[in-house]
Structure 1
Amino acid sequence: MYSHLSDKEIQAVKLIRNFILHNGRTPSVRELMKGMNYKSPRSASVIFNILEEKAILKKKSDGGFLIVDFDIPEEFGTRAQTVKVPLLGNVACGIPIFADENIEAEISISIEMIKKGYRYFLLRAEGDSMDKAGINNGDLLLIRQQQDAENGDRILALIDDEATVKEYNKSNGMVILKPKSNNKIHQPIILRSDFKIQGIVENVIKI
């Protein structure tokens, strides 16, 4: 797919890819300009347009860009069998997690990590409320979308339109969402039915 790109265009795609991984959004024209050491924002804007014309980037409804194929192989040849999983950017309160405008990229994930019949997505972990469970700030979380959970599952819950990752525990008609953290500021959240389970954290990807 990338054999038709110039070295500069591949460099730009790599820069955009890494920026999305670490910042949860595509770079602005000026941020791409700086990363590419251009002297004019027009040069960066031209790169964006070229990558869109070549179907590497796709413009979203909010004006940002989605990377159509996130992987850039070092050699253009055969690949392991993969499926594309959307990486969702930061979600503002009240905006549905699965809205198209939240998709920042589509990342190829090995089919060995995916269970058939489920929808998956990736989110970036924020904060340290689950560091004792192996989830650190900036990690990518591979989440299997479903609305039920078992005790001990690490779940993505939607509470008052805010998403949070916690350990799920249900007992005596109550649900306790437990943090797993060395930081004592994080406390359990006790609920009944006033929340929604959005999915289960299946894998933590360190970047």
Structure 2
Amino acid sequence: MLTKKQRDLLEFIHKRLQKNGVPPSFDEMKDALDLRSKSGIHRLITALEERGFIRRLAHRARAIEIVKLPEDMSQPKGFQPKVIDGPHPSPAQPANVTPDEVQLFARELPVMGRIAAGVPIEAISHVDHHVAVPGQMLKTGGQHYALEVHGDSMIEAGINDGDIVILRETATADNGDIVVALIEDEEATLKTYHRKGGSIALEAANPAYETRVFSEDQVKVQGRLVGLIRSY
């Protein structure tokens, strides 16, 4: 699976190679994708290479070879967790139920893809499948979505590889909240949020992973953890 940025870059490289046989420079790629620095292009190139879509040829400047292309390059797959209502409507909840009774009524949420609990990777926006969620998890109100966890950096918070996390869509968070954070509009990760002044720290719950610190303009909160469905 590719993010929209990865697909856009792959398509841009492919078109340039078709046009004149020479891949674009990193500056040209940065400008084409409207990125602020070439470090973002380096990350995208590495991701495309790891996924087998391109190959970098050693000892040759600007040497990039297209290995394969997605079947459909026109469908964006960036991280856009705003689509909540899937094709399967949730069961109607009777009126005048008590807070204790609300947990009896399940709602189906779309599982939007996978989220990294480790080194940041992309979250995929297409609906992979749906999951039934107890109403008790959604009593905070608002819009919700689900993601499958990939990685072990939140294991000491009780979040394991393969678990499904339930998130309430929000753009804000308090210190100590576990959030989905979008980094530089490219990568998303599940971490504990800490803000101090103009900096935001994304902290793992595993000593094997370092806390990463960003400026506030590099991080966008996309959702706050409200529930967990364990995978065995």
Query: Could you tell me which residue of structure 1 aligns to residue 211 of structure 2?
Result: 187
3-state SS in 2 of match to 1:103: coil
The DSSP-based 3-state class of the residue aligned with 1:132 is helix
> Could you say if the C-alpha distance between residues 180 and 94 of structure 1 is closer, same or farther in structure 2, counting changes exceeding 3 Å?
closer
Contact 1:152 1:167 in 2 (8 A): yes
Corresponding position: 1:81 with 2:105: yes
Structure index of larger Rg: 2
Q: Which runs of 5+ in 2 are unaligned?
A: 1-73, 76-85, 91-103
- Equivalent residues of 1:69, 1:106 under 8 A apart: no
Q: Cα–Cα, structure 1 residues 187 and 151, in superposed 2: closer, same or farther, change >3 Å?
A: closer
Per-residue Cα deviation, 1:12-36 (whole angstroms, up to 9, x for no partner):
xxxxxxxxxxxxxxxxxxxxxxxxx
Letter in 2 for 1:129: S
The residue aligned with 1:164 is 189
Q: CA deviation at 1:96?
A: 7.8
Alignment of 1:60-139 (within 5 A): 68=88, 80-90=104-114, 99=125, 102-115=126-139, 117-139=141-163
* TM-align CA RMSD: 3.1
Q: Report if aligned partners of 1:126, 1:137 keep a CA contact under 8 Å in 2.
A: yes
Q: What's the offset of the Cα at 1:122?
A: 0.8
Q: Write the distance in 2 (CA, Å) between the matches of 1:159 and 1:131.
A: 21
Aligned-partner Cα distance in 2 for 1:142–1:87? 9
Identity %: 28
In structure 2, distance between residues paired with 1:114 and 1:181: 27
Count of paired positions: 131
What CA distance in whole angstroms lies between the structure 1 residues aligned with 2:181 and 2:133? 23
Residues 10-25 of structure 1 aligned to structure 2 (within 5 Å): none
Q: Distance in 2 between matches of 1:194 and 1:126?
A: 22
Equivalent residue letter for 1:193 = D
Q: Distance in 2 between matches of 1:138 and 1:103?
A: 16
d(CA) in 2 for partners of 1:112, 1:206: 16
Gaps of 5+ in 1: 1-60, 71-79
User: Contact 1:131/1:182 (CA < 8 Å) preserved in 2?
Assistant: no
Q: Which residue of 1 aligns with 2:34?
A: none
Residue matched to 1:141: 165
TM-score by length of 2: 0.49
- The 8 Å contact of residues 139 and 204 in structure 1, kept in 2 or not, is answered as yes
Give the match's secondary structure for 1:146: coil
TM-score by length of 1: 0.55
